Structure 1
């Protein structure tokens, strides 16, 4: 009861323009549209052609942008992988269920999504959709956190927060991952989880981005005759920095754009990874065309957070992944729906990844007033039925330390950053790069927004888990489990010696 009340208060207080006006303008479609969400991992704001990238060709992403609408102020719900994806997957502000950082030990059953949290995919199932996910899960690996228990009819990929880009026996690894270390490092644990389809391990023998694309294409082909919801959860171009040799040969370090803090040799590998990811976007959209599904499929494209400092170009934005500045939260964000969205549309009002879930459920025929989703149905906005901004204000709780008040509030053109009771205030319309702090020259506005942020932050719950203290992360109990889907991997408990 309390949980539902908190969800209702967040819904009404944080997004004042939600649901009511949007649903009234939206007629129920005779055939509900398919939904495909393509999410990159750590892709920089300026690392796509339509945002001015010169050293990495992204023709398929650019074509998607040209065919639909670009959200110039498209935001994620958190500046790092775990919180951002938790927000998207649930359609809720993740602090409302106590999610703040990344799950550290992937086999620690205490970490990840609480069993009580409902996902967007679950709501889509209720509307008769076949639901599928491909790639990175990162929501926990305990039985109650398995994607099949969280609304996904099919999950192809891995349940951890990252993965090697080649099979563990690939010659380039020189056997590093085939002999089980004692103990496993937590990073290596994430990256060596098995590839699975639901509870069954998958054999694969190609570059991971290619494999994930093939699995996504297969899902579309298999379920083309029924409304489907597909989350393409790529891990590219997230580290490790790996790409096929023939693709890396296309990107010489000497040809890379100079970006402060980014080494040309690292940038060249990142470019190859992004190029392969873009090819995957092309394969998915071409499949929709081939099967005559394009006009009845909404395709969303975005990154899960800002690009990393050492790999990406987030300019003209300030900051990068992990940051409360725009470079951590504002991402490449596109929606395409042929016949419904005017090609080449650019929309400047702020939207968030939470809106994808609410919009999908509404278009599927769901009643948003009977959900606890925190986003808005923004269909009228991107189809041109309404010019009204979907949100009057947006709230973020940011930071891995719950005791430390930190976050963001955006109201109109103004953005407040809260860090340990200190604030910064920016006018994003006049100062997108966040170089001119207005908190001293406009103290009244700053204090008013701080008061509002604190008011909304009252509904942030304590952490649903604590990461393992240093020194505890190598305990054997977090190295192995007896889950069926782990069979054949170095983390299956039966392999212990």
Structure 2
């Protein structure tokens, strides 16, 4: 039985729900109170968790910003849209890369009928406030209204923001506060009609910056194991406080009862800033710490309050789930996610396999703390899959296979591929079949600059 703590409840027949999708940036699986952190304070998110359903096996479809967001907005996995990272695919020292990686796409293709486009067609007002990262202007891909969204990430969290799509506020203004104020204004303006509010905060992405009074608070607080960065903790509290502001506005306007709220993160957290123990590694890695994320769904009287679910789900599922709720057909040729609306109603879905494909390189953040496969890279080219409790990694440079039983080894420390050759063989064949079906590009060209003796990582180019 996958559902925990569910009670019976009636399903009301109300008009189309408002939809509020809140996405934190680089917030780790264990960086919130409702997932077990004792250092970070998230009372508003903890309350939201008690009012809805928490997924403990929730994943992003990619381990860093742009590809994860592309998967969410398209409902399609990375081989379909070709967005694998931010910027170039050949990150890290040239001499340490054995293969020429697949070229990276930075713009979500126009041929994809996005989630906001589908909601526009269904009669929704659509707005995005915050980080877009999939093109220059999200209004070309289904949003009626855009504040702060473009192709770039955040340069800073205090004015001046250096963002062409949001005007600077008064001196000292904090970006998380400002985005929430803008979101509240949009809700007040659009409440007469069903609305889709996409609120992808720039927090808690680097640069790690927060209000001074909150930083001082956490400097006085006892540290947690692997969670001890006072400024990062202050960023999380500020994020939580602002989500509380937004939720209060929905209450004040009497919109809460017919509003579906989704809260999540775009990928795992940066391990050198905040550890996700017992998970291994962090952002940019396809070990669990890089792809597991916190996830809450709330919709009063449709989703049981205080429920937890262990079904493995991914942000590829949000698009088909929302369309299922609205009884709208998906116009895309491909849909790699699956509706989890039955799960949200207390039922189950058939077990399925989840896939991640990353034919690229991402350089290390911190060779001493990343906890990846090697100290030079968070990610080397490969594919990962999860089938039941089994998780298989394949790495293209050397053909290495790593098999883990997540039920027994959630930290992915004990590679049991040799102990279970038949399971490894079956899963590997299934993985190859999936790559063929999705036409997933696999790098095979050798890099002429490669030097197997090269060991020193190149200086970090960017934070994504």
TM bracket (short chain): 0.7 to 0.9
Which among 173, 178, 195 is matched to residue 165 of structure 2?
195
Which residue of 1 is the match for residue 39 of structure 2?
A: 55
Which residue of 2 is the match for residue 397 of structure 1?
A: 357
Relative to 1, partners in 2 of residues 1:226 and 1:372: Cα closer, same or farther, differing over 3 Å?
A: farther
Q: What's the CA shift for 1:98?
A: 1.4
Which residue of 1 is the match for residue 263 of structure 2?
A: 301
- Where in structure 2 are the equivalents of 1:312-461 lying within 5 Å? 312-368=274-330, 372-384=334-346, 386-389=347-350, 391-400=351-360, 406-420=382-396, 421-458=399-436, 459-461=438-440
Q: What's the CA shift for 1:241?
A: 1.1
- Per-residue CA deviation, residues 133-174 of structure 1 (Å, 9 max, x unaligned), is 110011122xxxx21110001111131122311112xxxxxx
Q: What's the CA shift for 1:373?
A: 2.9
Q: What's the CA shift for 1:30?
A: 4.6
Relative to 1, partners in 2 of residues 1:254 and 1:129: Cα closer, same or farther, differing over 3 Å?
A: closer
Please tell me whether the aligned partners of residues 97 and 461 of structure 1 are also in contact (alpha carbons under 8 angstroms): no
Q: Distance in 2 between matches of 1:28 and 1:460?
A: 42
- Per-residue CA deviation, residues 405-454 of structure 1 (Å, 9 max, x unaligned), is 51211111111111122111111122211122110100111121111111
Please tell me whether the aligned partners of residues 127 and 365 of structure 1 are also in contact (alpha carbons under 8 angstroms): no
Which residue of 2 is the match for residue 5 of structure 1?
A: none
Higher helix share: 1
Q: Distance in 1 between matches of 2:87 and 2:142?
A: 20
Q: What's the CA shift for 1:43?
A: 0.8
Q: What's the CA shift for 1:399?
A: 4.2
Q: Distance in 1 between matches of 2:289 and 2:25?
A: 14
Q: Distance in 1 between matches of 2:158 and 2:60?
A: 29
Q: Is the aligned partner of 1:77 residue 2:42?
A: no
Q: Distance in 2 between matches of 1:64 and 1:368?
A: 29
Moved over 6 A (4+): none
Q: Distance in 2 between matches of 1:111 and 1:43?
A: 22
Which among 199, 206, 209 is matched to residue 232 of structure 1?
199
Q: Which runs of 5+ in 1 are unaligned?
A: 1-26, 169-190, 197-201, 464-497
Which residue of 2 is the match for residue 89 of structure 1?
A: 73
Q: How many residues align?
A: 395
Q: Distance in 2 between matches of 1:49 and 1:162?
A: 26
DSSP 3-state at the match of 2:391: strand
Q: Distance in 1 between matches of 2:217 and 2:87?
A: 35
TM-score by length of 1: 0.75
Q: What's the CA shift for 1:42?
A: 0.8
Q: Which runs of 5+ in 2 are unaligned?
A: 1-10, 90-103, 363-379, 443-464
Which residue of 2 is the match for residue 4 of structure 1?
A: none
Q: Distance in 1 between matches of 2:198 and 2:333?
A: 20
Relative to 1, partners in 2 of residues 1:121 and 1:366: Cα closer, same or farther, differing over 3 Å?
A: same
Q: Is the aligned partner of 1:148 residue 2:139?
A: yes
Q: Distance in 2 between matches of 1:345 and 1:354?
A: 22
- Per-residue CA deviation, residues 324-355 of structure 1 (Å, 9 max, x unaligned), is 11111111111111111111111001011111
Please tell me whether the aligned partners of residues 127 and 196 of structure 2 are also in contact (alpha carbons under 8 angstroms): yes
Relative to 1, partners in 2 of residues 1:110 and 1:250: Cα closer, same or farther, differing over 3 Å?
A: same
Relative to 1, partners in 2 of residues 1:368 and 1:115: Cα closer, same or farther, differing over 3 Å?
A: closer
Please tell me whether the aligned partners of residues 27 and 204 of structure 2 are also in contact (alpha carbons under 8 angstroms): yes
- Where in structure 2 are the equivalents of 1:36-185 lying within 5 Å? 36-103=20-87, 111-141=106-136, 146-159=137-150, 160-168=152-160
Q: Distance in 2 between matches of 1:323 and 1:360?
A: 29
Please tell me whether the aligned partners of residues 84 and 105 of structure 2 are also in contact (alpha carbons under 8 angstroms): no
Please tell me whether the aligned partners of residues 267 and 292 of structure 2 are also in contact (alpha carbons under 8 angstroms): yes
CA RMSD, aligned part only?
Answer: 2.3
Q: Distance in 2 between matches of 1:151 and 1:254?
A: 44
